[in-house]
Amino acid sequence: MSEEGIDWGGRREVATRAELEFAAELEGRCPGLDYWLHRDDEGVAWCLVSTDFVIGNGVQGTLRLDFDAAGIRGGWSPACLNWDAEMRAGPAGIDTAGLDGIHKPAADQAPAELARAAAEWFAEHRRRWSASERAARWRKR
């Protein structure tokens, strides 16, 4: 499904107004991310945004971020979204702390404001990936 220039994946068909605002701002600042629409067991809509880091022909790391009415939470996927693609960050064991993580409650922030923080976070990881310890470990394999 494509809406507002975003190619949406996932199990839900229609993005919420907040997801549309968030994704439009995020994609405008940090293009090329993947967007996945979900709904949890309680019926709450949430969106997973991800980007893969590739060395050679293989995905060596996937950075993921969850967006919903509560805010944004993100970090490295423990399995390059192989088993955690439909799970929220908490149950998937995503470390949202430190330099590699992000956790910003929605509080009084509009989705576009959260998207700006998310864009900076994704862009910083893209800038430092090739020189990171994480990338160096994968190159040694």
* Residue 73 confidence class, pLDDT cut points 50, 70, 90: very high
Parallel/antiparallel/unpaired status of strands 34-39 and 45-55? antiparallel
- What CA–CA distance (Å, rounded) separates 66 from 127? 21
At residue 140, the pLDDT reads 58
Strand 45-55's sheet: what is its strand order? 2-3, 6-10, 34-39, 45-55, 58-68, 71-76, 102-105
Q: Who contacts 16 (Cβ-Cβ below 8 Å, separation ≥6)? A: 45
pLDDT digits (tens, 9 = 90+) for 90-132: 999 999 997 799 999 999 899 999 999 999 999 999 888 666 6
pLDDT digits (tens, 9 = 90+) for 10-56: 888 899 999 999 999 999 999 999 999 999 989 999 999 999 988 77
Q: Is the sign of the CA dihedral 83, 86, 88, 91 positive or negative?
A: negative
The single residue listed with the structure tokens 């409650």 is 105
What's this model's pTM, rounded to 2 decimal places? 0.88
Every domain of the chain and the residues it spans: 2-135
